[in-house]
Structure 1
Amino acid sequence: MAKQTVLGIDIGGSLTKIGLVSKDGHILDKKVFETEAEKPFSVFMIKLKSEVEALILKQNSDIKIIAVGVGAPNANPYSGQIENPPNLKWGKAIPLLETIKKAFKLPVFIANDANAAALGELIFGSAKGMKNFVTLTLGTGLGSGIITDGKLLIGEHGAAGEIGHVNVDPQGRMCNCGLQGCLETYASVTGIKRTVFELLSEMREDSVLRTISFSEMTGTDISKAALAGDLIALNAFEKTGKILGSKMADTVAHLDPEAFIISGGLSKAGDILLKPILNNMEKYLFSAYKGKIKVLLSNATSSDAVLGPAALAWVSLEAKY
């Protein structure tokens, strides 16, 4: 008897990840390919169909795909569209749901990629057994997803949980969204890079980071430098943790979560990131919450990105039937 699976699709500005995932979260097979976001959406769909067909062929007909889950930047589950994506040059409103439904002739469920990731943590990851938590993905930007009472918080317009765009400083750094002083301009890989380069100009200490250009520097570079005791990197994490921790305290006042689960490139720094976050979150917490909120690092790796969209598909199927 063929094994029931779902197809998980994680669309990113640079890479798209696809995978066949069982109900218990086992990834039967997966593939990564370049999104080529500068080309038309129709070109992406041709490539997606080809890659999915190749993935299915490798299974020797031992599986039955029953649904598709898709996580994508700015995906709106109400409209079925990707709306105004900053890193996908496909137009202002891309009919994602209907196009994928036509391509695969299966039930399709879509969500913002960060929201899908939150469901992945709930069903398969570090948040198993939790009912109230917030995920923060510290990548190029700051992605976030909110689970409240065991369900994904979507909001009235399908765009709840944009914690990366709460304001840190009205006169602060310009954000790609058009606003000034957004949290993600400080607490993200891009944000900490900007902090590093400010510190390099202010501090005289030797640093391996002085040998890396802005465009080539990665979150992993900064994390490795910090773990090796680099003062510039350590200072950058301290500043990042102070800003992020204070805004997490604000989020606690709104949601009263059991935990925050942090993933993305900066999470590789471990305690060097967690300690300033925890110290500053506790400092700014309302007394009713002090000592009660956990901050955890996700167990998921970037190659597990398909688990979020797959969880979306499994959860949506159960709700539907």
Structure 2
Amino acid sequence: MDKPYVIGIDVGGTNTVIGIVDKRGQILRSGSIKTAVHAEVNDYLDDLSKLINEIVAETTTKDQIKGIGVGAPNGNYFSGSIEFAPNLRWKGIIPFARLLEEKVGIPVALTNDANAAAIGEMTYGAARGMKDFIVITLGTGVGSGIVVNGQLVYGHDGFAGELGHVIMRRNNGRLCGCGRTGCLETYASATGVARTAREYLELRPDMPSQLRSIPAETITSKDVFDAAMTGDEMAKEIFRFTGKILGEAFADFVAFSSPEAIILFGGLAKAGDLIMKPVQETMESNLLAIFKNKVKLLFSELKESDAAVLGASALGWEVK
């Protein structure tokens, strides 16, 4: 029997969002629960399975659901476990897919959030019809999903594709949440942009900027974007610096997998040309000659509020 629906679940550090999705990528019904209020994973799964049962009952029946796809921090596709996720309250290794499947009686597949975004782009978004591409998620950190020959690259242990943790600055690099220094995400994430702003304000005391009217420790990437949109030179310079580092990284990523496209997803992608122009220029000037003018830089075509759920749901079509 052809089952027409899947469920997508995006497990975030603060909220968990779920949706029932049809084959065209339409979210028919959605709901959310707070992730962070549950100290015990079993209490969280009780609330989650209750919500799943409610939205299924409002839309269809369980025998019409092909599977559940879950995108989660440090989600391991091979084991179905969330492993040592720094921004979740449940520590260690959580056999998430098995536990949820036991509670709701629907097959569950799990991967990490950036891989879910890549699957979503391939199934419903900017990468439809592509077999080789990279999705870069620019949010609080920098995540990536790498697709080669139509297959997500998982590596031997399920954790391949941590491109946010390639080291961009070997000397005096910024300290990263992973414990190392100089990682791409310390420069090219939303938090990285805010760090750059604080550095510029300190190192360039003579340069005027409306960012000086904001307490330095509260500056966000949105503040920098808003200032840049009014023509603030320092803010525009911060985006040029960020785009330059991203472009350098992309030139290296291309050498690894020769993608047809690199797709930018997440809050920072909203900066549009402010970030895309320096990324494009720097990437092209650093590419090997054989790759020049071959790689498209695209923005995600998934609506941001739906993207994580759609990405996770795409995994639901593949469950056995």
Q: Which range moves more in the overlay, 209-218 or 262-271?
A: 209-218
Q: Which residue of 2 aligns with 1:201?
A: 202
The counterpart of 1:230, out of the listed 229, 232, 237, is 232
Aligned in 2, Cα 1:60/1:146: closer, same or farther, shift over 3 Å?
Answer: closer
Q: Which residue of 1 aligns with 2:313?
A: 310
Aligned in 2, Cα 1:312/1:214: closer, same or farther, shift over 3 Å?
Answer: farther
Aligned in 2, Cα 1:250/1:60: closer, same or farther, shift over 3 Å?
Answer: closer
In structure 1, what is the Cα distance between the partners aligned to 2:62 and 2:45? 25
Q: Which range moves more in the overlay, 205-214 or 163-172?
A: 205-214
Aligned in 2, Cα 1:289/1:82: closer, same or farther, shift over 3 Å?
Answer: same
Q: Does 1:283 align with 2:280?
A: no
In structure 1, what is the Cα distance between the partners aligned to 2:227 and 2:60? 46
**Letter of the structure 2 residue corresponding to residue 99 of structure 1:** L
Unaligned runs of 5+ in 2: none
Q: Does 1:73 align with 2:73?
A: yes
In structure 2, what is the Cα distance between the partners aligned to 1:209 and 1:52? 44
| RMSD after superposition | 2.0
Task: Summarize the alignment of residues 1-321 of structure 1 with structure 2, pairs less than 5 Å apart.
Answer: 4-36=4-36, 39-59=39-59, 61=61, 64-170=64-170, 171-203=172-204, 204-213=206-215, 216-304=218-306, 305-314=308-317, 316-317=318-319, 320=320
Aligned in 2, Cα 1:127/1:215: closer, same or farther, shift over 3 Å?
Answer: farther
SS at match of 1:308: helix
In structure 2, what is the Cα distance between the partners aligned to 1:212 and 1:2? 56
Give the conservation status (yes or no) of the 8 Å contact 1:238–1:276: yes
TM-score of the superposed pair, with normalisation by structure 2: 0.93
In structure 1, what is the Cα distance between the partners aligned to 2:219 and 2:149? 39
Percent identity over paired residues: 45
In structure 2, what is the Cα distance between the partners aligned to 1:256 and 1:239? 25
Give the conservation status (yes or no) of the 8 Å contact 1:220–1:268: no
SS at match of 2:192: helix
Q: CA deviation at 1:216?
A: 4.4
In structure 2, what is the Cα distance between the partners aligned to 1:30 and 1:216? 33
Q: Which range moves more in the overlay, 118-127 or 25-34?
A: 25-34
**Letter of the structure 2 residue corresponding to residue 184 of structure 1:** E
Give the conservation status (yes or no) of the 8 Å contact 2:136–2:145: yes
Q: Which range moves more in the overlay, 156-165 or 30-39?
A: 30-39
Aligned in 2, Cα 1:6/1:214: closer, same or farther, shift over 3 Å?
Answer: farther
Q: CA deviation at 1:298?
A: 0.9
Q: Which range moves more in the overlay, 15-24 or 294-303?
A: 294-303
In structure 1, what is the Cα distance between the partners aligned to 2:113 and 2:215? 29
In structure 2, what is the Cα distance between the partners aligned to 1:109 and 1:60? 21
Q: CA deviation at 1:60?
A: 6.0
Aligned in 2, Cα 1:53/1:81: closer, same or farther, shift over 3 Å?
Answer: same
TM-score of the superposed pair, with normalisation by structure 1: 0.93
In structure 1, what is the Cα distance between the partners aligned to 2:122 and 2:254? 18
Q: CA deviation at 1:65?
A: 1.6
Aligned in 2, Cα 1:62/1:77: closer, same or farther, shift over 3 Å?
Answer: closer
In structure 2, what is the Cα distance between the partners aligned to 1:60 and 1:23? 14
Unaligned runs of 5+ in 1: none
